[in-house]
Amino acid sequence: MQRQSNSKLSLFLMELIVAIMFFSLAAAICVRLFASAHFLAEKTESLSNAVIWSQNVAEAFTGNKGDLEKIVSMFPGSYFMPSDSSGREGQLMLFLDENWESVDNSLSEASYEVYLDVAVKSAEEVYSDVKDYGVKLQGDAIVGKILILDVKNVTEDYSSIPQDPDRLILSNSVDAYIGKEGR
């Protein structure tokens, strides 16, 4: 009689161990799903804010026909590095905090960076696909490349784009035809 009771008890304990293993495995999977959902939500929020900032810079670029000095005046706290004497070509850097609000020229307080690189090129080169329609463009076009970068935990100051592709949130291009007034 005692033997039968021992076998029932050991069978019950084995069932209990299997059930505990099953529930612990299910709990581990749920925790992992919640963690990845949180990470995905943060990434989506960053991308959404990056699109908004990219659109703001693109509209400023288009509205001012790529004039960097005018664009800089629209974004207080931005940093301007001209690459030529006319001020038409160069880079604009704008630093943003973790709430996507502008901070004054400070990488140490910044979580994100908006980077605009502007160059003047031949309109024929920029709009080469227009040749298919029999249109001949003369003069120049101004081209901008907008990058939104995650610069959290970056300790060194830099004056060019970091080569780490994991820091890039969004890349966008914009251009404006400036005709013969160009350079």
Please check the confidence at residue 1 and state whether its pLDDT lies above 70.
no
**The whole model's pTM is what?**
0.76
User: pLDDT tens-digit profile of 121-157?
Assistant: 888 888 877 766 777 778 888 999 999 998 887 666 5
CA dist 165 and 104 (Å) reads 25
Longest dimension (CA), the chain: 106
Assess contact for 137 and 105: CB atoms under 8 A.
Answer: no
CA dist 58 and 146 (Å) reads 8
Task: Write phi, then psi, for 127 (nearest 5 degrees).
Answer: -110, 45
Helix (H) or strand (E) holding 49: helix 2-63
Please check the confidence at residue 164 and state whether its pLDDT lies above 80.
no
Please check the confidence at residue 183 and state whether its pLDDT lies above 50.
no
Residue 112's Cβ-count burial label (10 Å; 0-12, 13-18, 19+) is buried
Minimum mean pLDDT range among 16-20, 129-133, 170-174: 129-133
Please check the confidence at residue 175 and state whether its pLDDT lies above 50.
yes
Please check the confidence at residue 79 and state whether its pLDDT lies above 90.
no
Please check the confidence at residue 10 and state whether its pLDDT lies above 70.
yes
